[in-house]
A and B are shown apart, each in its own frame.
Chain A
């Protein structure tokens, strides 16, 4: 039997959601037996070649050009897209920078910080440009399943994965929902 393909990506976030996923511990074995995990942060691909995915998972918000493109690429190749964590769902902690311009942010971060000597703003073709605002995933592509939380609890992640594998589109129940 061909297993449904799943890919997860780590965009503007801290990897905490993936850690929470790993916190399923032995519960992971049940889920992984039922799917083929094609991409995840540990595959460390420099470019993605998503194909015929049943489910795409995004951790983190959209804050630079590369992340925007990955999100679009993933959306095209997956039937269901799931957003993990406050950053992907609401923008999360990244939105703290939205009240400043990107210029101010880079200036402060690379030049003006108290510990910086002779700082400069790095520019390179391999460095993606910051978007003007850090935004949730649904600002760029359509999202089917939202799992808020910082990070979402392993139970919430397991619940959504199991429901999706049953062919349903879950909405997180009240008792599993938390934003912090």
Chain B
């Protein structure tokens, strides 16, 4: 139907309104600042017409119409509120209150509840109908969200958000009539369902049915919502840099909400990390520098002492053993500015012989593979996922590393019928993947080799670059059957293997998603073979390969692009005497040379938290703010853009900015004065 040319005239409460398109009455009214109360309606979700609170009178009809689902018609005369309409709305609201337990006094969402606000607005000061007092279940199986069905009004927002925003389609209505509930999958608990805890249901829930287990609004009860600050920022925890709105009261982070946005391929969701984990306390915060004394106990020291001590110790090592005896390790969760300052401090301050990030190994694996290629090619952006018709997950566990990507793949399967092969040791396999092929630890490289050989056999008219000749040469003497035997694939396993590769070779727009499962391995051939396999199907567009590499840390791409990670692995002969670690509080401290730091003369740690696995190795710990307490730029996982992330909280009193700490250390460093640029103040 051609609607663009229609010019519609309607009247709301006597006001004439002209419209170019066929909106709902509700949208037309809201565009003209006419207030109509709603409950099940949400601007980012499809209209549903379930709650009937948006009733209006149309053309004097005795039957009121739900404005959210009634389209405007030329000449329509609408009354948005009169005594009868308000009475109807209040009665509906009373029924909603009476149906289940809506006692605000013991609800964690009181003060942040749309149902409650409606009751105030409509002056619902009591219930005429008696409450049912029926008992409904409560699902507390998830560590991050509670679902109290007693507080549910069955508005269906969560069901629509789960389908339309997250695409997971976990939630739906179950049972009938007064027993109607929101259910997970086929009436599972949340923990046993396919829910990946993105929390979009919680964000759109208008009542206390869904609540955040890490924070309750009780923490600010009695305070006015107008004291809440909404701060727009980004989540830097995995490299997707999802836009967020943080709600802060009195320097307390109350909640983090996604900016629902239909333009982003993920439609603006968040994941369990960005929405929930950020609220969890991850360790003991430090507010003073502490030093370890001779009895292996920690004591407070002043900032000046701390900087002096680090300077003195490292200067000593530098003058006796030279810069090669000093190393610097930094977390790839740090902002670009901190990474650069740290590298500058280590190289110019102490002429440090070795600087690396904790994910340096992954960097080197990828770097080596890139060097073998004969073109300036880029990896694909994660935003390509919805366009793929075949996805091979090889050594990638986005459920843990980039949950929004997991969600995107999940949705691609359900919405686009994308065929997905999930290969590897995956604790949270995609429940609807077309193929699952579990493999044993240590056999990843064998399997990728087998896949490459099979793909060479199956892909018709492979994309031929000069590099292709190398691939062919390297593999022509290997017998596939031998590898299959070594892998111990049974008949069923081999059929899956065969089907995956057949589908890969027949696909028009395949994507391979890989990650730490391959880049983190000692044996780099698995990653190389995977790259080679992707090349057989050519490029997505000029220079853009059919491969997405999931990065281990939030700002890995930034650290790698800025050259912070070392191109060389640390050698065992490296005679380290002392060094500095810069932590962000997000990383798990595991590095291939964590063994090297056992017998050092001096180890300084800069960290927001008391760094537990290192506490008996460090000599001094200098506190810094958390990422959410500092501004900084971060680089997106695919390396294509940098985003400036505003801070959402102030650091604790006393704690100095990371830039302040690193600059203060530079002033104490032996060579900094010699190495500084001439125009340095």
Q: State in angstroms the CA–CA spacing of A133 and B134 once bound together.
A: 12
Interchain CB contact under 8 A, B111 and A180:
yes
| Among B106, B111, B125, B130, residue most surrounded by chain A Cβ atoms (within 10 Å) | B125
CB < 8 Å: which of A95, A98, A99, A146 contacts B125?
Answer: A146
What mask results when residues 139 to 166 of chain A are scored 1 for a CB within 8 Å of chain B, else 0? 1000100111010000000000000000
Q: State in angstroms the CA–CA spacing of A98 and B130 once bound together.
A: 13
CB < 8 Å: which of B103, B105, B111, B126 contacts A143?
Answer: B126
Of A66-74, A105-113, A169-177, the one with at least 4 CB within 8 A of chain B: A169-177
Which residues between 113 and 149 of chain B lie within 8 Å of chain A, taking CB atoms? 116, 119-121, 123, 125-128, 130-131, 133-135
Is residue B221 within 8 Å, beta carbon to beta carbon, of the partner chain? yes
Interchain CB contact under 8 A, A174 and B121:
yes
Chain A residues in 8 Å Cβ range of B101: 95
Is residue B104 within 8 Å, beta carbon to beta carbon, of the partner chain? yes
Is residue A178 within 8 Å, beta carbon to beta carbon, of the partner chain? yes
Interchain CB contact under 8 A, A179 and B110:
yes
Q: State in angstroms the CA–CA spacing of A93 and B103 once bound together.
A: 7
Interchain CB contact under 8 A, B120 and A90:
no
Q: State in angstroms the CA–CA spacing of A96 and B131 once bound together.
A: 12
Interchain CB contact under 8 A, A171 and B103:
no
Interchain CB contact under 8 A, A174 and B126:
no
Chain B residues in 8 Å Cβ range of A171: 123, 125
Chain B residues in 8 Å Cβ range of A139: 130
Which residues between 98 and 153 of chain A lie within 8 Å of chain B, taking CB atoms? 98-99, 133, 135-136, 138-139, 143, 146-148, 150
Interchain CB contact under 8 A, A174 and B105:
no
Interchain CB contact under 8 A, B126 and A90:
yes
Which residues between 27 and 50 of chain B lie within 8 Å of chain A, taking CB atoms? none
Q: State in angstroms the CA–CA spacing of A150 and B222 once bound together.
A: 11
How many whole Å from B17's CB to the nearest CB in chain A? Answer: 27
Chain A residues in 8 Å Cβ range of B111: 180
Q: State in angstroms the CA–CA spacing of A172 and B123 once bound together.
A: 7
Is residue A91 within 8 Å, beta carbon to beta carbon, of the partner chain? yes
Interface size class of B (residues with CB under 8 A): 20 to 34
Q: State in angstroms the CA–CA spacing of A171 and B105 once bound together.
A: 21
Asked whether A177 and B123 contact (CB < 8 A) given A90-B103, A91-B103, A95-B103, the answer is yes
Interchain CB contact under 8 A, A138 and B126:
yes
Q: State in angstroms the CA–CA spacing of A104 and B101 once bound together.
A: 20
Asked whether A99 and B135 contact (CB < 8 A) given A93-B103, A150-B105, A180-B104, the answer is yes
Interchain CB contact under 8 A, B106 and A89:
no
Q: What is the chain B residue whose CB lies nearest that of A139?
A: B130
Interchain CB contact under 8 A, B126 and A133:
no
Interchain CB contact under 8 A, B104 and A133:
no
Q: State in angstroms the CA–CA spacing of A179 and B127 once bound together.
A: 13
Q: State in angstroms the CA–CA spacing of A96 and B150 once bound together.
A: 11
Q: State in angstroms the CA–CA spacing of A95 and B103 once bound together.
A: 9
Interchain CB contact under 8 A, A133 and B221:
no
Q: State in angstroms the CA–CA spacing of A133 and B120 once bound together.
A: 26
Interchain CB contact under 8 A, A172 and B125:
yes
Chain A residues in 8 Å Cβ range of B110: 179-180
Q: State in angstroms the CA–CA spacing of A160 and B587 once bound together.
A: 58
Interchain CB contact under 8 A, B131 and A179:
no
CB < 8 Å: which of A92, A99, A133, A173 contacts B103?
Answer: A92
| Among B110, B121, B123, B221, residue most surrounded by chain A Cβ atoms (within 10 Å) | B123
CB < 8 Å: which of B119, B121, B134 contacts A179?
Answer: B119
Q: State in angstroms the CA–CA spacing of A64 and B277 once bound together.
A: 46
Chain B residues in 8 Å Cβ range of A95: 101, 103, 131, 133
Q: What is the chain A residue whose CB lies nearest that of B107?
A: A180
How many whole Å from A171's CB to the nearest CB in chain B? Answer: 6
Q: State in angstroms the CA–CA spacing of A133 and B135 once bound together.
A: 13
How many whole Å from B122's CB to the nearest CB in chain A? Answer: 8
CB < 8 Å: which of B105, B119, B133, B221 contacts A98?
Answer: B133
Q: What is the chain A residue whose CB lies nearest that of B222?
A: A180
Which residues between 74 and 121 of chain B lie within 8 Å of chain A, taking CB atoms? 97, 101, 103-107, 110-111, 116, 119-121
Chain A residues in 8 Å Cβ range of B128: 138
Q: What is the chain B residue whose CB lies nearest that of A85?
A: B105
Which residues between 19 and 35 of chain A lie within 8 Å of chain B, taking CB atoms? none
Chain B residues in 8 Å Cβ range of A174: 120-121, 123
CB < 8 Å: which of B97, B126, B130 contacts A146?
Answer: B126
Q: State in angstroms the CA–CA spacing of A95 and B101 once bound together.
A: 9
CB < 8 Å: which of B103, B116, B120 contacts A86?
Answer: B103
| Among B101, B105, B111, B120, residue most surrounded by chain A Cβ atoms (within 10 Å) | B105
Chain B residues in 8 Å Cβ range of A136: 126-127
Is residue A83 within 8 Å, beta carbon to beta carbon, of the partner chain? yes
How many whole Å from B604's CB to the nearest CB in chain A? Answer: 50
Chain A residues in 8 Å Cβ range of B107: 180
Interchain CB contact under 8 A, B127 and A90:
yes
Interchain CB contact under 8 A, B116 and A179:
yes
How many whole Å from B448's CB to the nearest CB in chain A? Answer: 57
Asked whether A92 and B125 contact (CB < 8 A) given A179-B110, A179-B119, the answer is no
Q: What is the chain B residue whose CB lies nearest that of A86?
A: B105
Q: State in angstroms the CA–CA spacing of A93 and B135 once bound together.
A: 15
Q: What is the chain A residue whose CB lies nearest that of B217?
A: A180
Interchain CB contact under 8 A, A179 and B126:
no
Chain B interface (Cβ < 8 Å from any Cβ of A): 97, 101, 103-107, 110-111, 116, 119-121, 123, 125-128, 130-131, 133-135, 221
Q: List 24 A-B contacts (CB under 8 A).
A: A86-B104, A89-B125, A90-B103, A90-B126, A90-B127, A90-B131, A92-B103, A93-B103, A93-B106, A95-B131, A96-B106, A99-B133, A99-B134, A133-B133, A135-B130, A146-B125, A147-B125, A172-B123, A174-B120, A178-B120, A179-B105, A179-B110, A179-B119, A180-B221
Q: What 15 additional pairs, Cβ within 8 angstroms, besides A93-B105, A95-B103, A136-B126?
A: A86-B104, A90-B97, A90-B127, A99-B133, A135-B130, A136-B127, A138-B126, A146-B126, A147-B125, A148-B125, A174-B120, A174-B121, A174-B123, A180-B104, A180-B107
